[in-house]
């Protein structure tokens, strides 16, 4: 019998991996070995905390190398280099976190066996938070515990050390690590099912919101920010259209109720180089608004659907269009976001489909008030199965404080109109249970909106708006009134017309199927008659 081949180790697989996706998959498999020895509620923080520490350490070392090169070019003597290389201001001034020596990844990896990996990691998290005020209370100190398998933890540290996170001109190291962080967030959301929706919105949905709103500059706000996905995608949008140097053109403001999710969001923004304000601590947006005076240019959010237990105050000034019902916060979220919009602000919000048509507990009256105030710009019906974390059908609300031409912006004046888009037939299944919107789907939906609004991007691409049966229709408020303010796109856009030969084929097919069905009905009746006859002969 030939000798059995040894199963490749994670280390060997890592060395043979050639793409970021392969590296991500190997690291996920290695991290998953620790799952049984760690409290499930802390597992995300545990793994993502390691990735974050690797990021800040790599960014520090990268800046240190750049600084050494600059100093050498300036003629600084070698014996004086250390004084400059350990100058804190040289790092923080370049928007790099200050990482003391004992928190640097190379130092931890070199001393892990002799001093204990869990102990060193906890100490590293502590000192990084102590030396960087914006990270206070953010990083997890949960590595040096009896329930953590230290041997497997050390193996994971070795793998992360050996992973080829190095950047290139096309993709800097920060982007590579950012992709790893997002990959892990997505996997955690899938693994946790319904609870995963608390911190993660599918990327294709986030991309669609960002592509429609086009947040090039200004204040961006998310009152239920989770792990910060909306902000990350907004930053990527700016990079793609205007370059990395324009990331600072937006100012980010967010709030999150869950403490652990708030930590994930703070780390996510830091790892993507986004200087965001997620407040000094977590908190309930309704009971404790952390940004009370904010007026945002863009609001992007995926708040929890249909929540019944929320901090309701009937006298809250945010309820300008009606007091939301106690048993559902959907219209509380909508009105809170409207209260945050500046004079020309726009918002994109994910909500349950019921929000488009519900008449219970005064929701119909609030929706009527929003329509009559001309705040609703566009409604998008989304396809099913986009959200692995919930089976509740979802839609997108796009709100606008000013639907006029806005002077120099030369937009199309859409006052008194609402655009309805039915995207339920779009998307493709990536596995048995999950659908994603493709790049083509996102471009088609966003392009339809921009053509309708007459934005600069639509003019550049030569897009002109036209109603399309089954997809989109611009509807006057008078017609919405006739439909009792129901905002379901399918009610307005109609069905796609089938033209020419396709129509004939469809009609012929329907006729054939109808004939076959009637034949089956007849055969069924004969069988029933025969069975009854046979039963009549049976002696009871």
**pLDDT average, residue stretch 345-374:** 96
Q: What is the structure's pLDDT at 285?
A: 98
Fold of 193-493: Rossmann fold (3.40.50)
Structure tokens at 429: 């299944």
What CA–CA distance (Å, rounded) separates 451 from 409? Answer: 14
| Tokens representing residue 308 in the block | 């019944």
Measure the CA–CA gap between 152 and 369, rounded to whole angstroms.
Answer: 58
Q: If DSSP codes are grouped into helix, strand and coil, which group holds residue 422? A: strand
Q: What is the pLDDT of residue 6?
A: 42
* Residue 40: per-residue pLDDT: 61
Predicted model pTM: 0.82
Per-residue pLDDT averaged across 85-98, rounded? 89
Q: How confident is the model at residue 19 (pLDDT cuts 50, 70, 90)?
A: low
Mean pLDDT of the chain: 86
- For the domain made up of 10-165, the CATH class stated in words is mainly alpha
Query: What residue segments make up the domains of the chain, in order of their start?
Result: 10-165, 193-493, 498-526
Q: Worst-scoring range by mean pLDDT, 149-163, 244-258, 494-508?
A: 494-508
**221 CB-contact burial (10 Å; exposed 0-12 / middle 13-18 / buried 19+):** buried
Query: pLDDT, tens digit, for every residue of 146-169?
Result: 888 898 888 888 888 876 555 555
What Rg value do the Cα atoms of the chain yield, rounded? Answer: 28
Q: Which of 409, 57, 95, 54 is nearest to 244 (CA)?
A: 95
Task: Identify any residues that bridge with 420 across adjacent strands, giving them in sequence order.
Answer: 379, 473
pLDDT tens column, 167-206: 555 566 667 777 887 888 777 777 765 555 555 788 899 9
Tell me which of 181-185, 269-273, 481-485 is least confident: 181-185
What average pLDDT does this structure show over 359-372?
A: 96
């Amino acid at each position: 019998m030939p000798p059995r081949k040894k199963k490749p180790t994670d280390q060997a697989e890592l060395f043979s991996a050639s793409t970021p996706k392969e590296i991500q998959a190997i690291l996920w498999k290695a991290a998953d070995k620790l799952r049984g020895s760690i409290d499930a509620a802390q597992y995300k923080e545990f793994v993502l905390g390691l990735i974050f520490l690797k990021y800040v350490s790599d960014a520090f070392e990268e800046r240190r190398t750049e600084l050494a090169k600059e100093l050498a070019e300036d003629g600084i003597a070698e014996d004086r280099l250390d004084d400059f290389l350990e100058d804190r201001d040289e790092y923080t001034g370049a928007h790099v976190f200050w990482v003391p020596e004992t928190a640097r990844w190379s130092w931890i990896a070199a001393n892990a066996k002799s001093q204990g990996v869990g102990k060193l990691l906890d100490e590293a998290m502590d000192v990084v938070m102590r030396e960087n005020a914006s990270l206070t209370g953010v990083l997890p100190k949960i590595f040096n515990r009896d329930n953590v398998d230290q041997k497997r933890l050390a193996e994971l540290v070795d793998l992360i050390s050996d992973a080829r996170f190095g950047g290139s001109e096309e993709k800097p190291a920060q982007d590579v690590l950012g992709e790893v962080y997002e990959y892990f967030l997505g996997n955690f959301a899938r693994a946790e099912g319904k609870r995963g929706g608390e911190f993660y919105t599918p990327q294709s949905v986030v991309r669609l919101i960002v592509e429609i709103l086009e947040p090039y500059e200004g204040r961006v706000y998310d009152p239920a920010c989770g792990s910060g996905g909306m902000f990350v995608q907004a930053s990527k949008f700016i990079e793609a259209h205007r370059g990395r140097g324009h990331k600072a053109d937006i100012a980010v403001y967010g709030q999150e109720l869950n403490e652990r999710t708030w930590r994930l969001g703070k780390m996510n923004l830091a790892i993507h180089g986004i200087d965001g304000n997620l407040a000094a601590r977590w908190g309930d947006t309704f009971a404790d608004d952390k940004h009370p005076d904010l007026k945002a240019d863009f609001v992007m959010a995926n708040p929890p659907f249909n929540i019944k237990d929320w901090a309701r105050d009937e006298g809250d000034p945010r309820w300008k269009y009606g007091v939301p019902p106690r048993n559902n916060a959907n219209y509380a979220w909508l009105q809170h976001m409207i209260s945050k919009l500046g004079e020309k602000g726009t918002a994109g919000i994910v909500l349950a489909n019921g929000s488009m048509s519900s008449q219970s507990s005064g929701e119909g009256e609030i929706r009527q008030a929003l329509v009559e105030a001309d705040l609703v710009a566009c409604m998008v019906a989304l396809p099913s199965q986009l959200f692995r974390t919930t089976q509740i059908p979802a839609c997108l609300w796009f709100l606008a404080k000013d639907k006029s031409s806005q002077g120099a912006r030369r937009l199309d004046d859409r006052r008194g109109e609402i655009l309805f888009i039915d995207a339920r037939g779009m998307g493709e299944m990536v596995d048995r249970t999950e659908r994603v919107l493709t790049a083509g789907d996102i471009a088609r939906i966003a392009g339809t909106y921009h053509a309708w609004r007459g934005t600069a991007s639509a003019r550049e691409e030569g897009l002109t708006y036209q109603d399309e049966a089954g997809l989109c229709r611009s509807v006057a408020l008078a017609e919405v009134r006739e439909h009792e303010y129901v905002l379901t796109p399918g009610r307005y856009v109609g069905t796609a017309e089938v033209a020419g030969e396709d129509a004939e084929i469809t009609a012929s097919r329907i006729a054939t199927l109808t004939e076959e069905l009637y034949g089956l009905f007849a055969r069924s009746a004969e069988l029933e008659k025969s069975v009854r006859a046979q039963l009549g002969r049976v002696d009871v």
